[in-house]
Chains A and B, each alone.
Chain A
Amino acid sequence: MQIFTCPFCGPRDEREFHFAAEAGKTRPDTTRQIDPETWATYLHAQRNDKGRTREVWMHLPCSELFLMERDSVTMEVFSTHPLRKEPQ
């Protein structure tokens, strides 16, 4: 059982979290023409990196998405960051 640190609620049990997506994926601008390969890559292609990964997770009790850097082999968690922009 892993411990993830929600940037808002602190360290919590892994059962409170849902994986959302690999970080760095951008939704294509669907008001333009998008070829099927680009769309399929956006929908389905995952890097599934072995080792250091950057992922977006949701802490279900507070519903906040955040960025987590972790190692997919050793399960070590390096850092968690809010996705929210810093206040100007």
Chain B
Amino acid sequence: MTLRLPTGGLIDRSKPIHFTFDGKLCQGYHGDTIASALLASGTRILGRSFKYHRPRGLWGAWVDEPNAIMNVTLDGHVFPNCLATTTYLQDGMAARAVNAWPSARFDLKGGLDLFHRWFAAGFYYKTFMWPDWHLFEPLIRRMAGLGAVSPEHLDTYTSDQTHDRCDTIVIGGGPAGLAAAEAAAQAGQNTLLVEDHADLGGSAHQLPTIEDTPTADWIAARQSAIQSAGGRILTHTTAFGIYDHGLVGLAQSGPFGTAPRLIRLRATRIILATGAIDRPLTFANNDRPGIMAVDAAAEYLARYATLPGRQIALLANTPQADTLAAQLTQAGAQVTHVDPAQSPLSARGGKHLTALQAGDRTHPADTILASGGLTPLVHLWRHAGGKLDWCDQRNAFLPGTPPGNMTATGAANGTFDTDEALEHARATGKNTPTQRPDPKHHITPHWPAPGSKGRQWIDFQHDVTLKDVELAARENYTSVEHLKRYTTLGMASDQGKTSNMPGLAAMAAIQGRPIPEIGTTTFRPPFVPVPIEMYHGAHTKQLWNPLKRLPLEPQHRAAGAALGDYGGWLRAGWYGKGSPETQAQSEARMARQTAAIFDASPLGKIEVMGPDAEAFVNFVYYNTISTLKPGRIRYGFMLTEGGAVFDDGVIARLDANRFVISCSSSHVDSVRTHLEAWRQDGNDPDRIFIHDTTQHWATLTVTGPRARAILDTLDLDTDDFPHMSLRETSWQDTPLRLARVSFTGDTSFELSIRASQAPALWSALLDAAKPLDAGPIGVEALSILRAEKGFLMIGKDTDGETMPHDLGFTDPRLKKSPPFVGDRSLHTDKANAPDRKQLVGLTVPAGAPPLPTGAHVVTDDETPRSLGYVTSSYLSPTLGRPIALALLENGTNRMGDTITAWHLGETRQATVSPPCALDPEGARLDA
């Protein structure tokens, strides 16, 4: 049975489109939505409800539709949760009702509805408590999901993001929006009009003429006037949210299956012309397929030339219903007007409506058009913080005290008469203060009647009935916010566009309080569901958090490096093709036997300069830096004001007023910000300058017993150059900073050179190393070497509570007299507590494997307690045994004790030892 009319509408009958619904071949026209094409073909059941799997048809014609949710497959990709009423038809679409199998018409789970008495609100909370919710959760989740994503499509499903601004944005391209935008543009304002349909006009299409002009001509005239005055128009674009400082979120739809474009728009002025939607009447079986909103029927008739049915009961008392009744009759339908004040009301029939029962009268009908009055769409008004006023005459919440830069006009402002709306919209567009016109009609309230018989639906999408609201009230969930969460009313993907008003009106009636006293739940963006992809756009992976790249990356690749992310830098983990463990072991062994070259370029090189630089570094360091002589280097800590170790590393003094801070590789940005904050707080910022030169310099470390020999080959003088000193020299006419510091315990030199000259230095060092059986090592080997010496890595061997005296650095805490960051915090009860976690080494019995990193050291009681944990653990190739570092309660006083380490249910024994396991006398340093 086709309900399509031979003429009229906005569809293009010369362009038929074929698609399938639940496997059945269907046909529509260009300009149709999935919903309108199905309605026209006589399909009445478009979905199944979420909980009871009740058959459902169309209620709305656009974003307010709660029932017709589809999985749509196009070109092999599945797109879940497409609203059939807003998805324009394309050739080859295969649509399936989302919550039904095998089809919406014959749903296997339809039988669930028979058990509805057991599934009332709160059913899950009450029933699945015992013995454990997690036992039931997987099954319930499988039953509850809506739709499925095609994960392979996500790689290409990328949203563009743009930024835009304008003087005035008009949201909504209906009669009021068009008039307001025209007036604003002609008043010289940079104006943007957005409309979420693919075409302009909104509800205008329901009217044959506007201002005595045929509607299509009127719309075209407004459009051309806006554009010739310099205004812009975006159709198929939804304003889904208003955020702080006048930010409007716009989602611009493209072809089906592409991610919408996100436009972040800043507008000086926002005009809301979003219109209004019908609210359902609450009566027995008011969810049956064939019960549709008056406004939706008017839209299907006007836009898609489709009747909602043949035999229609019109259950409404709004002026819009009278206009529609005339149009439907003219189009050949049989219309019976029924006063919704009659009681009781109930829909007869199951999958197909047969009649409307009103009091003792039965009106045969295949379709019921219902409206309890119009609800202005004030979502965006509330996003922006605008207040709402209750209007008794209109029975609706209207925009009240406005947010800073916003005005509402047209139906969104409660003006449902077109001429009045146009006058108000034009004044608003020109920015002339205008009163809201008084309503011409007084709407008789028809709200849910608590205690009445039958299953009366409040929320169609989440299957919340009037009885559920009554149950919530009985159980004292009387606040609307509690009601919402207890019954899930308004929490479906339609966010209660049709259900919130009946829901709160029901609660008001139950409590005998006026509706405005009950209030509304919070309106939150987005107004319609938008894909998560839209928010991140291209800002993912490397474009969100790009890896830092080394100047020597090509050289590392050529040397066979396994490159990985180490603290945000792409660095060589190890070289060669063996397993990571084997390669790291052999590199660490080589470093101890001959020498190793290590790319330490990511090490921080933050320069602190100026006449107050000395006092400043002395203040930001735990250690005394003021006594450091030019050309010398000192190891030290920076603390937070709470006393915790923030960063460690060496600081070098180049001259009286110039220092270089060598902070941890992964920590440079936060150290620089930390230094900047202190520089500008309590100091004269004109006497201290901070400059991060980390990426200007490449740093190559040469370490090992033969390190000096390698430097000799490069003619770099290392005579009279003690440990912890620095010399500014040159190599091949390029300035070179030569530092003698050691993170391995062996004789080590750090050679820093202009980044562009690094390849030459790297080649020269490798050439010099080769005859000595020395070569490059990666980060993994270095980690072993430093752990053998008990040298810590911040954030690995320390945590957010570690203080310097926990690491064995006690002197400044006791002796440094000038103030420094964190000083007072080192003398609190907590800092003095005897059970602080201290850095220790752990030695395992001969033949035992390394301890797992992260293993907890536990007490031996019946209920073991954690005393700390293993922070680093390796096999030492030089010592030929495992080594480990740990943070252990009162660890320094436990030297020699045997402890128990627990990991994933297994326990191990180990002995507490000093952190330094290799060469504790430091003989290798000057070997």
**Would you call A39 and B385 a contact (CB within 8 A)?**
no
**Would you call B677 and A30 a contact (CB within 8 A)?**
no
Q: Smallest CB-CB separation from A36: which chain B residue?
A: B828
A contact residues around B819 at 8 Å (CB): 29-31
B682 on the A face (CB < 8 A): yes
**Would you call B385 and A74 a contact (CB within 8 A)?**
yes
Interface centre among A20, A43, A58 (most CB of B within 10 A): A43
A1 on the B face (CB < 8 A): yes
Q: How far is the CB of A17 from chain B (nearest CB, A)?
A: 12
Within 8 A of B (CB), among A38-71: 39, 43, 56, 58, 60, 63-65
A contact residues around B682 at 8 Å (CB): 27
Q: How far is the CB of B240 from chain A (nearest CB, A)?
A: 14
Contact with A along B622-633 (1 / 0, CB 8 A): 000000000000
Q: How far is the CB of B604 from chain A (nearest CB, A)?
A: 16
Q: How far is the CB of B683 from chain A (nearest CB, A)?
A: 11
Contacts A30-B819, A39-B825 hold; do A3 and B681 have CB atoms under 8 A apart? Answer: no
B contact residues around A85 at 8 Å (CB): 684
Q: Smallest CB-CB separation from A62: which chain B residue?
A: B676
B contact residues around A56 at 8 Å (CB): 681
Q: Smallest CB-CB separation from A87: which chain B residue?
A: B686
Q: How far is the CB of B728 from chain A (nearest CB, A)?
A: 27
Contact size range, B? 20 to 34
**Would you call A43 and B825 a contact (CB within 8 A)?**
yes
Q: How far is the CB of B139 from chain A (nearest CB, A)?
A: 41
Q: How far is the CB of A83 from chain B (nearest CB, A)?
A: 6
Interface segment among B241-249, B307-315, B646-654, B911-919: the answer is: B241-249
Within 8 Å by CB of A60, from B385, B673, B685, B823, lies B673
**Would you call B244 and A39 a contact (CB within 8 A)?**
no
**Would you call B247 and A39 a contact (CB within 8 A)?**
no
A81 on the B face (CB < 8 A): no
**Would you call B685 and A84 a contact (CB within 8 A)?**
yes
**Would you call B680 and A83 a contact (CB within 8 A)?**
yes
B733 on the A face (CB < 8 A): no
Contact with B along A1-18 (1 / 0, CB 8 A): 111000000000000001
Within 8 Å by CB of B817, from A3, A31, A43, lies A31
Interface centre among A1, A76, A77 (most CB of B within 10 A): A1
Q: How far is the CB of B459 from chain A (nearest CB, A)?
A: 32
Q: How far is the CB of A62 from chain B (nearest CB, A)?
A: 10
Q: How far is the CB of A51 from chain B (nearest CB, A)?
A: 14
**Would you call A1 and B673 a contact (CB within 8 A)?**
no
A contact residues around B676 at 8 Å (CB): 58, 63, 65
Contacts A30-B823, A30-B824 hold; do A18 and B817 have CB atoms under 8 A apart? Answer: no
**Would you call B245 and A20 a contact (CB within 8 A)?**
no
Contacts A1-B247, A1-B264, A2-B245 hold; do A65 and B828 have CB atoms under 8 A apart? Answer: no
Within 8 Å by CB of A65, from B266, B404, B641, B677, lies B677
Contact with A along B818-855 (1 / 0, CB 8 A): 11100111001100000000000000000000000000
B812 on the A face (CB < 8 A): no
Determine the distance from Cα of A79 to Cα of B825 in the docked complex, in whole angstroms. Answer: 34
Q: How far is the CB of B829 from chain A (nearest CB, A)?
A: 7
Determine the distance from Cα of A34 to Cα of B681 in the docked complex, in whole angstroms. Answer: 20
A contact residues around B537 at 8 Å (CB): none
B642 on the A face (CB < 8 A): yes
Within 8 Å by CB of B673, from A30, A43, A63, A83, lies A63
Determine the distance from Cα of A61 to Cα of B243 in the docked complex, in whole angstroms. Answer: 24
Determine the distance from Cα of A84 to Cα of B679 in the docked complex, in whole angstroms. Answer: 11
A contact residues around B829 at 8 Å (CB): 36
Q: Smallest CB-CB separation from B682: which chain A residue?
A: A27
B contact residues around A65 at 8 Å (CB): 676-677, 680-681
Interface centre among B641, B672, B817 (most CB of A within 10 A): B641
**Would you call B641 and A43 a contact (CB within 8 A)?**
yes
A contact residues around B266 at 8 Å (CB): 3
**Would you call B824 and A58 a contact (CB within 8 A)?**
no
Q: Smallest CB-CB separation from B681: which chain A residue?
A: A65
Q: How far is the CB of B104 from chain A (nearest CB, A)?
A: 41
Contact with B along A23-38 (1 / 0, CB 8 A): 0000111110010100
Determine the distance from Cα of A37 to Cα of B309 in the docked complex, in whole angstroms. Answer: 77
Q: How far is the CB of A56 from chain B (nearest CB, A)?
A: 8
Determine the distance from Cα of A18 to Cα of B676 in the docked complex, in whole angstroms. Answer: 12
Q: How far is the CB of B523 from chain A (nearest CB, A)?
A: 17
**Would you call A39 and B245 a contact (CB within 8 A)?**
no
Determine the distance from Cα of A74 to Cα of B266 in the docked complex, in whole angstroms. Answer: 17
Determine the distance from Cα of A43 to Cα of B710 in the docked complex, in whole angstroms. Answer: 50
Determine the distance from Cα of A83 to Cα of B673 in the docked complex, in whole angstroms. Answer: 16
**Would you call B245 and A3 a contact (CB within 8 A)?**
yes
A contact residues around B825 at 8 Å (CB): 39, 43
A contact residues around B672 at 8 Å (CB): 63
B contact residues around A31 at 8 Å (CB): 817-819
B contact residues around A64 at 8 Å (CB): 680
Q: Smallest CB-CB separation from B675: which chain A residue?
A: A63
**Would you call A2 and B244 a contact (CB within 8 A)?**
yes
Contacts A20-B677, A65-B680, A83-B680 hold; do A1 and B243 have CB atoms under 8 A apart? Answer: yes
Q: How far is the CB of B524 from chain A (nearest CB, A)?
A: 16
Inter-chain pairs besides A1-B245, A58-B673, 10 sampled, C-beta below 8 Å: A3-B266, A30-B824, A36-B829, A39-B824, A43-B641, A56-B681, A58-B676, A63-B676, A83-B681, A84-B685
Can you offer 18 A-B residue contacts whose CB atoms are under 8 A? A1-B245, A1-B247, A2-B245, A20-B677, A27-B682, A28-B824, A30-B819, A30-B824, A31-B817, A34-B824, A39-B825, A43-B641, A43-B825, A58-B676, A58-B677, A65-B681, A83-B681, A84-B680
Residues of B within 8 A of A (CB): 243-245, 247, 264, 266, 385, 404, 641-642, 672-673, 676-677, 680-682, 684-685, 817-820, 823-825, 828-829
Residues of A within 8 A of B (CB): 1-3, 18, 20, 27-31, 34, 36, 39, 43, 56, 58, 60, 63-65, 74-77, 83-85
State the 7 A-B residue pairs at the shortest beta-carbon distance, nearest first.
Answer: A30-B819, A75-B244, A63-B676, A65-B680, A2-B244, A39-B824, A30-B823
